[in-house]
């Protein structure tokens, strides 16, 4: 870990950054730092490369603007209300040499800076959002977050990530159809034909851990591959049929709206074993599978009023 590498690079980095920020804070009102920041970055998820290119100050501002999103995904960042978990993070950061001046259990600016420094040192995504990857790298003993393995694991067990948010289909449709390239014509039997330009610009082929290649939207392809692998490996459920992008109406019915499968943001697992409209899917024997998919932002159709046990769709509003 970062305190065992001899030269404590990140601590120096942390100290310098803290000094600069303290000057900045002194110049402004104490809380104003978060406000222009939130507007500047609007909480949008930046690529790892984009983050690495940010100045230290901008990185901290980004982390603050992103914190509500981080917390809403059951991870931990600035303003997190779970004082017990924040305390565990602070203790581990302090052990590694960070000088945290935030009150115990309060995730404020110095905890954030220390977290970013530790993430940088560990060579993982440095965004001040303490998720499974950080917990594993820093061996933070938070219950419900797995500290084993180097992979970015979701929070598993005890239904930690289960959330049954309705209305995602409409939101996704709005986001997808706002694309200038978007248009379609009706096809046969509830299918539609998407404008090839939209298809080329938005859909990608991704290889899954089981060797299959599937078509998904660019924005969710990596998330799906990761979620599916983790869900399968952890739960022991290995669906052999994985159906992804099919441009069509809901239930193949031309009088209904467009299915999220159209945009490559929805997936069906083993339709025969997990039939539509029944609460009897084989998948129900593997709650951990559903939970882990949820952790990665994939909503389960089995939670709907009319259950669709085979179906998961990405909550695009979380991006």
Q: Who contacts 42 (Cβ-Cβ below 8 Å, separation ≥6)?
A: 65
CB 104 within 8 A of CB 111: no
Minimum distance, C-beta of residue 116 to Zn ion, in the bound complex (Å): 39
The residues with which 217 forms a beta bridge, in sequence order, are: 203
Q: How far is CA 306 from CA 161, 169, 247, 291, in A?
A: 21, 14, 22, 19
| CA 161 – CA 152 distance, rounded (Å) | 15
Across 242-269, b (16+ Cβ under 10 Å) vs e yields ebbbbbbbbeeeeeeebbbbbbbbbbbb
In the complex, least distance from residue 234 CB atom to Zn ion, rounded to whole angstroms: 22
* Number of chain positions touching Zn ion (CB under 5 A): 2
Which span sits near Zn ion by CB under 5 A: 50-58, 59-67, 167-175, 266-274? Answer: 266-274
Which CB, 127 or 268, lies closer to Zn ion? 268
Distance between CA atoms of residues 232 and 290, nearest Å: 10
Distance of closest approach, residue 222 Cβ to Zn ion, in angstroms: 20
**Single residue of 311, 314, 315, 316 touching Zn ion by CB under 5 A:** 311
Nearer to Zn ion, 268 or 315 (CB): 268
Q: Does 270 bind Zn ion (CB under 5 A)?
A: no
Cα–Cα distance, 196 to 4 (Å, whole number): 54
Binding segment for Zn ion (CB under 5 A), chosen from 47-55, 91-99, 162-170, 307-315, is 307-315
Contact of 187 with 193, CB cutoff 8 Å? yes
Q: Is 268 in the site for Zn ion (CB under 5 A)?
A: yes
* Cβ neighbours of residue 67 closer than 8 Å, sequence gap 6 or more: 77, 78, 79, 80, 112, 128, 129
Q: How far is the CB of 311 from Zn ion (least distance, A)?
A: 3
- Identity of the residue, 103 or 277, whose beta carbon is nearer to Zn ion in the bound complex: 277
The one-character DSSP state at 301 is: G
Q: Which is nearer to Zn ion, 11 or 300 (CB)?
A: 300
Q: Is 315 among the residues that bind Zn ion (CB under 5 A)?
A: no
Taking CB under 5 A as the binding criterion, the range among 46-54, 102-110, 188-196, 311-319 that sits at the site for Zn ion is: 311-319
**Distance in Å, CB of 135 to Zn ion, minimum:** 33
Residue among 125 and 261 whose Cβ is closer to Zn ion = 261
Compute the least distance from the CB of residue 261 to Zn ion, in Å: 6
Measured distance between the N- and C-terminal CA atoms of the chain, rounded to whole angstroms: 30
Cβ-closest residue to Zn ion?
311
Binding site for Zn ion (CB under 5 A): 268, 311
């Amino acid at each position: 870990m970062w305190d065992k590498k001899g030269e404590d690079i990140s601590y120096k980095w942390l100290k310098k950054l803290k000094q600069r920020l303290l000057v900045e804070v002194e110049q402004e009102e104490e809380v104003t730092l978060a406000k222009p920041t939130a507007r500047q970055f609007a909480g949008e998820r930046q690529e790892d490369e984009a983050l690495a290119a940010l100045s230290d100050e901008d990185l901290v501002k980004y982390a603050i603007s992103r914190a509500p999103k981080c917390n809403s995904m059951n991870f931990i960042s600035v303003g997190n209300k779970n004082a017990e978990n924040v305390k565990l993070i602070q203790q581990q950061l302090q052990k590694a040499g960070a000088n945290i001046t935030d009150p115990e259990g309060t995730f404020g600016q110095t905890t954030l800076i220390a977290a970013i420094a530790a993430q940088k040192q560990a060579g993982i995504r440095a965004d001040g959002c303490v998720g499974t990857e950080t917990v594993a790298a820093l061996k933070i003993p938070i219950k419900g977050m797995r500290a084993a393995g180097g992979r970015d694991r979701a929070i598993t067990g005890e239904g930690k990530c289960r959330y049954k948010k309705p209305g995602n289909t409409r939101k996704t449709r709005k986001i997808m159809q706002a694309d200038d390239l978007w248009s379609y014509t009706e096809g046969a039997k509830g299918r539609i034909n998407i404008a090839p330009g939209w298809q080329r610009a938005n859909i990608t082929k991704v290889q899954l851990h089981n060797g299959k290649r599937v078509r998904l939207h660019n924005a969710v392809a990596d998330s799906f591959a990761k979620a599916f692998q983790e869900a399968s490996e952890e739960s022991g459920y290995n669906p052999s049929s994985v159906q992804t992008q099919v441009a069509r109406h809901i239930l193949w019915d031309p009088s209904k709206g467009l299915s999220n499968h159209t945009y490559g943001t929805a997936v069906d697992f083993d339709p025969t074993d997990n039939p539509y409209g029944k609460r009897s899917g084989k998948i129900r024997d593997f709650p951990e599978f559903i939970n882990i998919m949820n952790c990665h932002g994939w909503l389960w159709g089995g939670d709907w009023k009319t259950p669709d046990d085979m179906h998961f769709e990405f909550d695009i509003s979380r991006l």
